[in-house]
C-alpha cells in the first residue's frame, strides 16, 4: 500500500492510497474531485478515505458486502453522516477504468476520476436507483468533470447502480467501521473509518 496524498482543508481530511499497479493515480486531481463535491454539498468537516484497487479486490468487497458476485467500478461506504459532518470511504477499481475507458473515448485516468466523483456523490446522499436519480447523478458528474476541465462523453456512461452502503442498509456502520479498513487497507492509523 502506498500513501499517495493526505490533505487537510477546512476540516476535510482526505486520504488517498493505491493498492494496485495497473494505473498511476493522480492523487491531487482525485482530491480536487472529492473537495468539489464536498464543498458543493456544504459538508464542513469530513474524513474521506479513497482506495484505488484492482478488480479482484473490488469483486471480493462487492460480494462480501452486497452479495454481488462481480467486479464493479466503485463502492461507497458512509460510516457517519450528521448535519454537515461526513465520514466515508470510496473504493474504486483502476482495472475496470482501464477496461471500459476506451468505450467512451477518454483515458483510464479520466474514467477513474468519474468513479471518484460518482462515489463521493453517493457519500453526500445522491442515489442512482431510479431513472430520475441516474439522470440527476449524470448531470452532477458532468458538472464536476467540467469544473476539472473534462468534457463528459456525449453518450451517457451506462453502469449499474453503484453500491452505497449507508448506516444500517446492507451493513451496519459498526460492521463497516470494523471491516472496511482491513478489507482495503485503511489509510488512517486509528482504523475508525
pTM: 0.79
pLDDT for residue 129? 93
CA distance 178 to 181: 7
CA distance 190 to 91: 19
| Residue 174 in this model has a pLDDT that exceeds 90 | no
Q: How confident is the model at residue 90 (pLDDT cuts 50, 70, 90)?
A: very high
pLDDT for residue 156? 45
Cα-Cα-Cα-Cα dihedral of 57, 61, 67, 70, to 10°? -30
The answer to whether the beta carbons of residues 91 and 74 sit under 8 Å apart is yes
**How do residues 129-161 score in pLDDT, each as one tens digit?**
999 999 999 999 999 999 999 998 766 455 544
| Residue 2 in this model has a pLDDT that exceeds 90 | no
pLDDT for residue 101? 92
Identify the architecture of domain 2-184 in CATH.
Answer: 3-Layer(aba) Sandwich (3.40)
Determine the longest span between alpha carbons in the chain, in angstroms.
43
How far does the chain reach from its first CA to its final CA, in angstroms? 17
Domain residue limits, the chain: 2-184
CA distance 77 to 34: 14
Cα-Cα-Cα-Cα dihedral of 180, 29, 111, 135, to 10°? 80
Amino acid at each position: 500500500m502506498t500513501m499517495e496524498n493526505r490533505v487537510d482543508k477546512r476540516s476535510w481530511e482526505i486520504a488517498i492510497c493505491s493498492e494496485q499497479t495497473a494505473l498511476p493515480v493522480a492523487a491531487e486531481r482525485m482530491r480536487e474531485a472529492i473537495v468539489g463535491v464536498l464543498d458543493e454539498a456544504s459538508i464542513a468537516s469530513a474524513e474521506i478515505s479513497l482506495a484505488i484497487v484492482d478488480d479482484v479486490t473490488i469483486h471480493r468487497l462487492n460480494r462480501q458486502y452486497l452479495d454481488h458476485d462481480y467486479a464493479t467500478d466503485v463502492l461507497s461506504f458512509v460510516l457517519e453522516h450528521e448535519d454537515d459532518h461526513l465520514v466515508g470511504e470510496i473504493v474504486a477499481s483502476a482495472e475496470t477504468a482501464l477496461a471500459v475507458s476506451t468505450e467512451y473515448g477518454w483515458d483510464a485516468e479520466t474514467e477513474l476520476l468519474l468513479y471518484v466523483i460518482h462515489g463521493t456523490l453517493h457519500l453526500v446522499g445522491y442515489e442512482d436507483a431510479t431513472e430520475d436519480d441516474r439522470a440527476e447523478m449524470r448531470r452532477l458528474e458532468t458538472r464536476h468533470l467540467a469544473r476539472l476541465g473534462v468534457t463528459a462523453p456525449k453518450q451517457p456512461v451506462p453502469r449499474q447502480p453503484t453500491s452505497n452502503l449507508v448506516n444500517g442498509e446492507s451493513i451496519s456502520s459498526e460492521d463497516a467501521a470494523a471491516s472496511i479498513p482491513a478489507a482495503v487497507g485503511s489509510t488512517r492509523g486509528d482504523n475508525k473509518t
